[in-house]
Amino acid sequence: METSPITSHKITRIGDQGTEELDDQLAVEEPLEIQIAFQSAGQQQRRSISVTMRTPGHDEELAAGFLFTEGIIHSKSQIESISHSPLDENRVVVTCSAGFEPQLGSLERNFYTTSSCGVCGKASIDAIRTRSVYTDPQEGLVLNKDLLYRLVEQIVRHQNTFEVTGGLHASALFDVSGQFLMLREDVGRHNALDKLIGASLLADQLPLAHRILLLSGRASFELIQKAAMAGLAVVAAIGAPSSLAVQLAEESGITLIGFLKKDKFNIYTGHRRIISL
């Protein structure tokens, strides 16, 4: 059984009416080690790929999404199984299908990744420009601005753990009619998106070409890179995009929206997909 994403902690609250002792709800943050097992030259191999600080829950999706968005695996068929280590709930082992040997030589990543920066361990900017297996830019996809306005209310309504703790990022998926499909939360914004993409991968729903990705915070380079890997054509963020995120979105044919609110937003790239009338 996975650890609860919420824990209680006694605090002292200071206010105009004095002080009080009470229990506060915190988002859990624990390390997750992702390992990959495969056959090589007739021998069973197991490699530790990464340790990431995450909120427990949907660990199998996180592992699958991480391996996919890093370009280590390219389809669900390359995964035989995903399981927690029987000795450690904070370790997940992804076993590759027979006949598939992942190419790990180009994976230039530090062993430890913090929850606040998913790309800190990368050796260079070139190492994170992973090429997506999905190249269709979805030129025919067009969305009305009013549809985008409705997404903000929905992500707030579905952020269950954030409502309790106030301490998590979220990635949410919608169809092109604005219908809510799925949401994943985590202390790390990159983990939340990996969980979402991992869930889609394991359900054989990639590419996500006819889906809208909504990010609860800012749009960083790595989140756009992961979106491109999953074949997404539209990414909207409640917060601001970075300059490199905008550059990558432009290069990848992604419509990137920032500062999305109930009555306004900014379009940074891919303006042709949004109808403002």
CA–CA separation, 85 and 82 (whole Å):
10
Active site residues: 117
- Minimal CA–CA distance to 100: which of 155, 147, 39? 39
- The number of beta carbons lying within 10 Å of the beta carbon of residue 57 is 18
Alpha-carbon span 268 to 246, nearest angstrom:
7
99: phi > 0 → left, psi -120 to 50 → alpha, else beta; which?
left
Kindly report whether the peptide bond that precedes residue 102 is cis, defined as omega within 30 degrees of 0. Answer: no
DSSP state of 117: B
Cβ(273)–Cβ(255) below 8 Å: yes
Q: Give the CA distances from residue 230 to residues 25, 65, 91, 127, in Å, rounded to whole numbers and listed in that order.
A: 33, 9, 25, 18
